[in-house]
């Protein structure tokens, strides 16, 4: 018998609490597999955030520290300055990173902090029950914009990857998705690159992963994957925004 699929040792045995069809679980697995494949699992220190992934420390088989809402990049900075040779990452939602935590993420990038940020963008606040995030799409109905997000009132959805790519300290910024197997493979490659560049001390690295929230969006798991593809990707294009392999004006 050949083993076609087995759970990575990068994940613990705990069953996750995510809703059926939520892609947070997939993203956890990618991070875990990458850390195993790069042989970094034993050294890695993760910084959790506040959002549905608040319990990520129960699922990822690495040492982790909790962070207050939005502050993970600052916490990671503290960790990295104590352990400059160890891989350090943050795992943050879009409310956490793009709303309350914008100052921390911008300045971690600005300092060229040698960390990797896994930024899970599901265009909503999942944990608190479906309120508007800065990334919520125009017209998307959420509990704090019941008639849909309106540009005049709330502005355009914030594109964090594009924004952070402008910050000189950023070394690698890519946006990926997990809505089908091909996208998942590409997402994994991106996460692997980010950790590799971190270990090569190239600077700040971030992978933005477009993710589903069937509960918050009020859609079935299958419809959610479709909604992501049809609505999020056109506004949030999947691409490399910054890479140390390219010459980027300093």
Partner 1 sequence: MAKMLMKGNEALALAAIRGGCTHYFGYPITPQNEITEYLAREMPKAGRVFLQAESEIAAINMVVGASAAGGRVMTSSSSPGIALMQEGISGLAAAELPCVIVNVQRGGPGIGGIQPSQADYYQMTRGGGNGDYSILALAPATVQESAEMIRDAFQLADKYRSPVFIASDGMLGQMMEPVEFGDTQPTLMAEKPWAVVGHGGKRKPNTVKTLALDPLVLEEMNLARQKKYAQMIATEIRYENFQVDTAEIVLCAYGSTSRIVKNAIDLLGQEKIAAGLIRPQTLWPFPDAPFQNLSKKCRRVLCVEMSCGQMIDDVRLAVNGRLPVDFFGRTGGIIPAPEEIVGQVKLLLGRK
Partner 2 sequence: MCNEKILCAGFGGQGVMSLGQLLAYAGMIENKHVTWMPSYGPEMRGGTAYCSVMVSDTPVGSPIINNDATCVIAMNQPSLIKFEDTVAPGGIILINSSLTDSTVTREDITAYNIPALDLATECGNGQAANMILLGAYLTITKTVLMTSVIEAFKKVFGKKAEKLLPLNEKALKKGGDIILTIESVLPH
d(Cα 145, Cα 132) in Å, to the nearest integer? 7
19 binds partner 2 (CB under 8 A): yes
Among 76, 79, 132, 210, binds partner 1 (CB under 8 A): 132
The helix/strand/coil state of 147 is: coil
Integer-rounded Cα radius of gyration of the chain: 17
CA separation for the pair 163, 4 (Å, rounded): 40
Return the one option of ligand SF4, partner 2, Mg ion, none that residue 20 interacts with (CB less than 5 to 8 A, by type): partner 2
> Contact at 8 Å (CB) between 61 and 41?
yes
- In the shown chain, the binding pattern of residues 38 to 57 toward partner 2, with x for contact by CB under 8 A and - for none, equals --------------x-----
**Alpha carbon distance, N-terminus to C-terminus of the chain:** 54
Which residues of the chain form contacts with ligand SF4 (CB under 6 A)? 18-19, 22, 24, 52, 122, 126-127, 213-216
- Asked if 228 is part of the footprint of partner 2 (rule: CB under 8 A), the reply reads no
**Number of neighbours of residue 106 by Cβ within 10 angstroms:** 17
Handedness of CA 123, 34, 241, 230 (dihedral sign): negative
Q: Is 70 in the site for Mg ion (CB under 5 A)?
A: no
Binding of partner 2 at residue 209 (CB under 8 A)? no
Chain positions 74 to 113 lying near partner 1, rule: CB under 8 A, are 95, 99-100, 102
Token pair, residue 221, equals 């798991």
By rule CB under 8 A, what string of x and - marks binding of each residue 85-124 to partner 2?
----------------------------------------
Whole-angstrom distance, CA of residue 220 vs CA of residue 20: 9
Q: Which residues bind Mg ion (CB under 5 A)?
A: 93-94, 122
Q: Which residues bind partner 2 (CB under 8 A)?
A: 17-20, 52, 127, 215
Q: Which residues bind ligand TPP (CB under 6 A)?
A: 50-53, 69, 93-96, 120, 122, 124-128, 133
């Amino acid at each position: 018998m050949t083993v076609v699929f087995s759970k990575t040792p990068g994940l613990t045995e705990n069953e996750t609490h995510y809703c059926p069809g939520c892609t947070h679980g997939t993203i956890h697995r990618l991070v875990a597999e990458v850390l195993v494949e790069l042989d970094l699992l034993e050294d890695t220190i993760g910084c959790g955030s506040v959002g549905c992934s608040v319990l990520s420390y129960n699922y990822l088989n690495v040492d982790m520290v909790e962070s207050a809402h939005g502050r993970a990049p600052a916490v990671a900075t503290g960790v990295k300055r104590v352990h400059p040779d160890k891989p350090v990452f943050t795992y943050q939602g879009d409310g956490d990173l793009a709303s309350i935590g914008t100052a921390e993420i911008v300045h971690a990038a600005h300092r060229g902090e040698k960390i990797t940020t896994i930024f899970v963008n599901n265009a909503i606040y999942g944990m608190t029950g479906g309120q508007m995030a800065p990334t919520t799409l125009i017209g998307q109905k959420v509990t704090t914009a019941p008639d849909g997000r309106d540009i005049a009132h709330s502005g355009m959805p914030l594109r964090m990857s594009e924004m952070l790519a402008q910050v000189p300290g950023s070394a690698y910024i890519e946006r990926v998705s997990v809505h089908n197997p091909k996208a998942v493979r590409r997402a994994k490659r991106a996460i692997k690159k980010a950790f590799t560049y971190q270990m090569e001390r190239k600077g700040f690295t971030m992978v933005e992963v477009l993710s589903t929230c069937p509960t918050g969006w009020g859609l079935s798991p299958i419809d959610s994957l479709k909604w992501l593809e049809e609505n999020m990707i056109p506004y949030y294009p999947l691409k490399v925004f910054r890479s140390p392999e390219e010459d980027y004006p300093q």
